[in-house]
Structure 1
Amino acid sequence: MAYPDRILGPDEQVVRHLHPHWLTLFRPVVLFLVLVGGGSFGAALVPEGDDQALARLVIGAVAVVLGLVFVAVPLLRWRTTHYVITTHRLLFRTGILSRTGRDIGLSRITDVSYRQSLWDRVVNSGTLTIESAGDNGATVLSAIGHSEEVQQLLNHMIEEDADRRAQESAGYIGEAYRDDPYDDDHHPDDRSRGDRRDRRRTR
């Protein structure tokens, strides 16, 4: 089962699965093109001779190492960074070899705000700040695409979660009344008063 479906609860559904904004991949892609072009150009400039093959091998090895550090790692970091909004919580997962994660229940979120610079507005990105009850402080998510839309979605999901919890609570109380072994037509306070009257008669 693929992530994040394998970590969901029985009645939990994914509403939005996000990665950082695609613009975070712009620099690694440009560096990849520069490395390919520069490596090919440098290998072509190596003069003929006994050391030509070795020099080209060194240039190729340097290009591969730089590609791993400045291209592959950022791409993998983007791919392994997950922001998931479900019907019950907000999940963060990040890390390539070592993993870091945090879950925030929608019922614990007290405020969601976003911030956009002029450039963020041009590329439709932004920073989300999520305040939650507890001692961990605010959670800041950078480079979130469609940040305003995500903020509105989170606020909507928080309201739906509160309504769902209220309905479940009301249903639980209703079940308790229906399972009352004494009298389904009377309030529990009435039953208590009736019990007290019965005890007085038996004295």
Structure 2
Amino acid sequence: MTETVILEARETRRSYGPLWLVLSVLMLGLPFLGRQRITVTNERITVTSGFWTKVRDDIEIFRIRDVVVKQSIWHRLTGIGDIVIKSMEGRSEETHVLRGIADPIGVSEKIRTLWNQTARPKGPAATLD
């Protein structure tokens, strides 16, 4: 099966809030240059961030254990939010934060649907007697 892109998103400028907006104008827009870029495929979630130093983090769908949506009052008013993904890498749990995502509940539902398709066993359930 080939890997297909389900969703591509960027951290929205609205996620910085009014204070960051003023500071970014004073700093010639530099905070906006290092925004997160998120790509969700049927096999993994790729988070790329940074301006001077690029960091790419791949989260395999089958390793996801929990997806949490966090929205402050400011984020609810602007229609964005943060998605916290908890995954297992070996024996340790990792936490990944997708910041400033538009329609965070819809995106988390897409991730949950992909997880159900990928990580859950297919076919009839086996029972032990």
> Could you say whether these structures have the same fold, taking a TM-score greater than 0.5 normalized by the shorter chain as the test?
yes
Alignment pair present for 1:160 and 2:106: no
More strand by share: 2
Which amino acid counterpart does residue 41 of structure 2 have in structure 1?
Answer: T
Residue 105 of structure 1 pairs with residue 60 of structure 2: yes
- 1:191 matched to which residue of 2? none
How many angstroms apart in 2 are the aligned matches of 1:11 and 1:29?
43
SS in 2 for 1:144: strand
**Which structure features the higher share of helix residues?**
1
Q: CA deviation at 1:106?
A: 0.4
1:71 to 10, 28, 39: 28
Residue aligning to 1:51: none
CA distance in 1, matches of 2:68, 2:24: 32
CA–CA separation in structure 1 for the residues paired with 2:86 and 2:23 = 34
Say whether 1:12 aligns with 2:16: no
> SS of the residue aligned with 2:14?
helix
Match of 1:22 in 2: 13
Structure 1 residues 30 and 94: CA distance shift in structure 2, 3 A: closer
Aligned to 1:143: 100
CA deviation after TM superposition for structure 1 residue 75, in Å: 2.9
Name which of 76, 79, 85 aligns with 1:124. 79
Deviations 1:78-108 (A, max 9, x none): 3xx2111001001111122311111111000
Q: Partner of 2:126 in structure 1? A: none
* Unaligned residue ranges in structure 1 (runs of 5+): 1-9, 32-65, 168-203
Higher relative contact order (CA 8 A, sep 6+): 2
For residues 152 and 126 of structure 1, the distance between their equivalents in structure 2, rounded to whole angstroms, comes to 14
Aligned equivalents of 1:76 and 1:28: distance in 2? 15
Structure-2-length-normalised TM-score = 0.77
Encode CA deviations 1:156-199: one digit per residue, 9 max, x unaligned.
Answer: 11112236x747xxxxxxxxxxxxxxxxxxxxxxxxxxxxxxxx
- Give 5+ residue unaligned stretches, structure 2: 124-129
- The DSSP-based 3-state class of the residue aligned with 1:121 is helix
Percent identity between matched residues is: 22
Runs of 4 or more consecutive aligned structure 1 residues displaced over 3 Å after TM superposition: none
Indicate if the aligned counterparts of 2:86 and 2:96 stay in contact, CA closer than 8 A: yes
